Amino acid sequence: MAETIEEKCLSKGVKLTEQRRIIAKVISESKEAYGESDHPDVDELYNRVSKIDPKISIATVYRTVKLFEEAGILIKHDFKAGKARYEINDDHNHLIDIKSGEIIEFVDEEIEKLQKKIAEKYGYTLVDHKLELYGVKKKPQ
Amino acid sequence: MAETIEEKCLSKGVKLTEQRRIIAKVISESKEAYGESDHPDVDELYNRVSKIDPKISIATVYRTVKLFEEAGILIKHDFKAGKARYEINDDHNHLIDIKSGEIIEFVDEEIEKLQKKIAEKYGYTLVDHKLELYGVKKKPQ
DNA sequence: TTATTTGCAAACGGTTTGCCGATTA
DNA sequence: TAATCGGCAAACCGTTTGCAAATAA
């Protein structure tokens, strides 16, 4: 990872508090600690944060996560509406197993280029994109 | 349009009622009646439905729209979380103007193929996909 | 010090649901 | 007729917010 969330906060002028540091830490560590396809929702984030400091309220988690999003540090996903998930903004796509819910991250140069081309075609400059593929695992043959 | 929503209901075994017919009609007509980028949310659907039959409740709109979605007739979008939007399931993508909120629909063979290929690469069969491009209009030069 | 942040609990808003009378196939 | 559906109002649940105390710069 290029820069920690804390460093990004500094460069974006986001004030750091003890709570925000803890929340940032939990988000940064979420993948390593919980496996490859770990995309915790706010409630789960709150659970993990609570183990470090049980006095942090869920309102603070919501506020912090929204703050980080507005600073461009995190991106918000609504894979299935009703529960938002946040992760570090590093611009990959998702392949979601509709049976198990497993989430695979991928990047693809070619698709990236194609998207830019399509936006151009309609007279737009691409500023963001969201690509989610939904699939079922093929039987090994 | 190949098949009306009513026809799709018949072929999928979805029972038709007066209310469902009205809701289907409103959805089918949403584009022609309200301009190219008309993606009404449930509340707006309810408003339009009410003009035809004011006794239909919003609960029925929610139930119907979910029913149609489960039958594969409609797809649900959460362009911005908090308010779902439904439209006829005809497998296009969206280019969203982040300034004006305008929504442009497009299909692209190449990107379609590429998506399938990526799913395959990870051992999956693609069953669905969601692609949203966010852009700003380029100045005419 | 002074603006900002946090915790709490209450409010909010979109969506779902239990009940029961009405309607469909 | 038997099964399903619709209207109403209450419940639900993720998220936001007002307030007063606590904290960062």
Q: What is the DSSP string of A5-42?
A: HHHHHHHHTPPP-HHHHHHHHHHHHHHHHH-TT---BH
DSSP state of A59: H
Q: A45 CA to chain B: closest CA distance, Å?
A: 19
Amino acid B13: pLDDT: 82
pLDDT of residue A25: 94
**A100 pLDDT above the threshold of 70:** yes
Q: Domain residues of chain A, as ranges? A: 5-88, 93-135
Q: Which of residues 38-67 of A touch B (CB under 8 A)?
A: none
Q: Is B101 on the interface with A (CB under 8 A)?
A: no
Q: Rounded to the nearest 5°, which phi and psi values hold at B68?
A: -60, -35
- Could you tell me the two tokens for B137? 């209009």
Return the amino acid letter for B17.
Answer: T
- Say if residues A41 and A85 touch (Cβ distance below 8 Å): yes
Q: How far is the CA of B25 from the C1' of C3 (A)?
A: 55
Cβ-based contacts under 8 A for chains A and B: 115
Q: Is the confidence at residue A18, as pLDDT, over 80?
A: yes
Shortest CA gap A78–chain B (Å): 7
Strand C atom within 7 Å of A24 CB: no
- Chain B residues 5-34 within 7 Å (CB) of strand C: 15-18
b (16+ CB within 10 A) / e for B24-35 = bbbbeebbeeee
The architecture that CATH gives domain B5-88 is Orthogonal Bundle (1.10)
State how far the Cα of A79 lies from the Cα of A103, in Å rounded to an integer.
10
Judged on CB neighbours under 10 Å (0-12, 13-18, 19+), A124 is buried
Q: Is the CB of A52 under 7 A from strand D?
A: no
Interacting residues of A107 by C-beta distance below 8 A, sequence separation 6+:
A91, A92, A93
From the CA of B139, how many Å to the C1' of D12? Answer: 47
- Chain segment B43-73, per-residue pLDDT in tens: 999 999 999 999 999 999 999 999 999 898 9
Restricting to B residues 67-96, those with a Cβ less than 8 Å away from any Cβ of A are 76, 78, 81, 84, 95
Question: Does B137 sit within 8 Å of A124, measured CB to CB?
Answer: yes
Q: Could A119 and B129 be called an inter-chain contact, meaning their C-beta atoms sit closer than 8 Å?
A: no
Burial class of A13 by CB neighbour count within 10 A (0 to 12, 13 to 18, 19+): exposed
Model confidence at B42: pLDDT above 80: yes
pLDDT digits 0-9 by tens, A52-92: 999 999 999 999 999 999 998 998 888 776 789 988 888 78
Q: How far is CA B109 from CA A94, B25, B89, B100, in A?
A: 20, 30, 17, 27
pLDDT at A2 over 70: no
Identify which of B108, B125, B140 has the shortest CB distance to residue A135. Answer: B125
- CATH superfamily placement of domain A93-135: Ferric-uptake regulator, C-terminal dimerisarion domain (3.30.1490.190)
- Considering just the CA atoms, what is the radius of gyration of chain B in Å? 17
Residues listed for chain B: 141
For chain B, list the strands marked E by DSSP.
Answer: 74-77, 85-88, 93-97, 103-106, 124-137
Q: Which residues sit opposite A128 in a β-bridge?
A: B134
Classify B67 as helix, strand or coil: helix
